[in-house]
Amino acid sequence: MSTLRCTAAQAAVRYLANQYVAGPSGETRYFTGAWAIFGHGNVAGLGEALHAARDELPTYRAHNEQGMAHAAIALAKQTRRRHAMICTSSIGPGATNMVTAAALAHVNRLPVLFLPGDVFATRTPDPVLQQVEDFADGTVSANDCFRPVSRYFDRITRPEQLLDALPRAMATLLDPASCGPVTLAFCQDVQAQAHDFPESFFRRRVWTVRAQPPDPRDVEELVRLLRSARSPLIVCGGGVLYSQAEETLAAFAGSTDIPVAETQAGKGALRWDHPCNLGGIGVTGSSAANAAAAAADLVVGIGTRLQDFTTGSRALFSAPDRRLVQVNVAPYDAAKHGALAVVGDAAAVLECLRERLPGWRAPAGATGMAAARTGWSAAWEKAVVPTAQPLPSDAQVIGAVWRSSAQDAVVVCAAGGLPGELHKLWRCRKAGDYHVEYGYSCMGYEIAGGLGVKMAEPQREVYVLVGDGSYLMLNSELATSVMLGKKLIVTVLDNHGFGCINRLQRASGGAAFNTLWADSYGGTAPPIDFAAHAASLGAIAERVAGIAQLEQALGRARASDRTYVIVIETDPAAVTAAGGAWWDVAIPEVSSRSAVTAARAAYIDRLGRRSRED
């Protein structure tokens, strides 16, 4: 057997650079590159190996480990999980900075490979710089924080362990059901140790992303349920996009007249003007979709986890004797909420249904819901059209960005009130134009995520919408976007604090407290010049007043060849009243505030109604 003597770090990089995926456009490298912030735990080993492979596996320098991981995850999401990136850091805070991003990837079922440096396997210099010591367990390091937020975790304490660990990592990253983050904690002394690896280990390998067919018995039961249903509803989740089933869903919905409602992750699978598309569903959904959900006697979730924002805390699907079916590649998700589980790829299941339901149409289908769609369209117009109010709403800013953007532009957002408004109001014109991270609702994802989207699809204009709170949490990848020449158009909505949580706080009967600058300790807003800050990071930046000035600035941003930041002050209290559904937020049983007591009474009444509906 021929062998190649190299270090463990060199072996890992060589192996990863030779992993390919088969797709419609041919065979392409699975890993599009590596993100690295080097420190003493990875610079000597992985740093040297990545430098040698920089032509095949480019390494990008970021400014924050969490930010670079967000960018990697966003690229994976935008490429429908067909590609991924590697993220490496040093042993201590660099590693723990990535744990939040690992949780985000885990919740959203998105692939990313973490290679954090770790302690010395020999423990000879123990404890090393930045080592976290567990007084009761000598095997623990900071990287054990990755265990609950990784789909697969391993600690590399010998070079030859890579022969098993790396193929297992790849199998996890590329499996539609187990897809998510993988962490290989790489002991820093082991990175530099040499071993005689089989040359065959480094041969080019081409992986095929599996499209799992469903069990025919489950399909037949679903067909039976559909034929006996009067008012069925499809809830479209992210799995539809990851299986590239948009056209199949559009054709199936069109031929059967089954209305479709979209989750945050599934939004964009259908064009906004498809006759069966009722818009977003749930707490941040449209009135048309939520009315259909309440009346549906059969709900078919496709590629969705049915989290509480989608189901209105399990109160939205309230028709008597309604049935629930979950189509999902992951049995864990398919069996949720007592559903009939149909385990399989979304596209494969939809194709099976098309074959078994020729000529069948839902008795109370989307055609009969034209009035509801028209009513929602009127609500949309009212929400996004500018008014004479002193400060614009988030909805009006969204309307301006939508009107100013090209047909194939991508909007990126994550946390706060903006994702809810986008779910209701962004009109998707092309698949992949809606990139909102709401599974983990992670503040700080927006700018770094926008960078990842731009790296995935550099030909498309990328619009990042971010609140002032999220901007302050993580903005450093603005500098990275300028450095890499990856232009973003960033609109910062400055509502002087955490406006979304302030609204929730007041709706729960609480006093305005520690959410806006005005109700925080000290009570005085610092004079933050977001435009000057963005300009200091290399972006072109300006501050505007009102929607007319915003639209003019967006025109200048489109003409720019560099990342462009526009700052606009917005109303923290304004929110789109139309649409939406109940969300279970527990209210204190006892309080000295009469507003809380009243909110508690309303909450108990709502719980009672949900119980009666169940």
Nearest residue to 250 (alpha-carbon basis) of 323, 369, 351, 358: 351
Point out the domain boundary residue: 319, 347, 373: 373
Containing structural domain, residue 516: 386-569
Same domain, 74 and 101: yes
Number of other residues whose CB lies within 10 A of the CB of residue 115: 28
pLDDT of res. 147: 98
Nearest-angstrom CA–CA distance, 385 and 369: 25
**Is residue 325 a contact partner of residue 299, using CB atoms and an 8 Å limit?**
yes
Residue 91 sits in a domain of what CATH number?
Answer: 3.40.50.970
Same domain, 312 and 430: no
Same domain, 173 and 220: no
Same domain, 338 and 446: no
Nearest-angstrom CA–CA distance, 225 and 240: 21
Contacts of residue 220, defined as CB under 8 A and 6 or more positions apart, other chains included, come to 356
pLDDT of res. 119: 96
Angle of helix 346-356 relative to helix 246-256, nearest 10 degrees?
A: 30
Residue 317 sits in a domain of what CATH number?
Answer: 3.40.50.1220
Residue 550 included in any domain: yes
Residue 283 included in any domain: yes
Point out the domain boundary residue: 158, 173, 207: 207
Same domain, 339 and 418: no
The pLDDT tens digits of the residues spanning 240-265 come to 999 999 999 999 999 999 999 999 99
**Is residue 288 a contact partner of residue 375, using CB atoms and an 8 Å limit?**
yes
Same domain, 363 and 239: yes
Same domain, 138 and 238: no
Q: How far is CA 104 from CA 113, 175, 216, 564, in A?
A: 13, 18, 34, 27
Same domain, 300 and 400: no
- Strand, helix or coil for residue 108: helix
Decide the pairing of beta strands 277-280 and 410-413.
unpaired
Same domain, 369 and 426: no
Residue 591 included in any domain: yes
pTM (2 d.p.)? 0.97
497 — phi, psi (to 5°)?
A: 140, -155
Same domain, 357 and 436: no
Same domain, 369 and 517: no
Nearest residue to 575 (alpha-carbon basis) of 518, 515, 504: 504
pLDDT of res. 141: 95
Name the DSSP class of 262: E
pLDDT of res. 265: 97
**Is residue 283 a contact partner of residue 581, using CB atoms and an 8 Å limit?**
yes
Using 70 as the pLDDT threshold, list the residues of the chain that sit under it. 610-614
298 bridge partner residues: 232, 323
Look up residue 329 and give its amino acid: V
Domain count, the chain: 4
Residue 223 included in any domain: yes
**Is residue 232 a contact partner of residue 298, using CB atoms and an 8 Å limit?**
yes
Same domain, 187 and 246: no
Nearest-angstrom CA–CA distance, 60 and 42: 15
Residue 355 included in any domain: yes
Residue 398 included in any domain: yes
Number of other residues whose CB lies within 10 A of the CB of residue 138: 11
Residue 478 included in any domain: yes
The pLDDT tens digits of the residues spanning 129-168 come to 999 999 999 999 999 999 999 999 999 999 999 999 999 9
Long-range Cβ pairs for the range 546-553 (8 Å, 24+): 546/386, 546/392, 547/386, 547/392, 547/396, 547/397, 547/399, 547/400, 548/386, 550/392, 550/397, 550/400, 550/491, 551/400, 551/403, 551/404
Peptide bond into 127 cis (omega under 30): yes
Nearest-angstrom CA–CA distance, 564 and 445: 18
Residue 579 included in any domain: no
Nearest-angstrom CA–CA distance, 423 and 383: 13
Tokens describing residue 491 = 């609109």
pLDDT of res. 613: 56
41 — phi, psi (to 5°)?
A: -90, -5
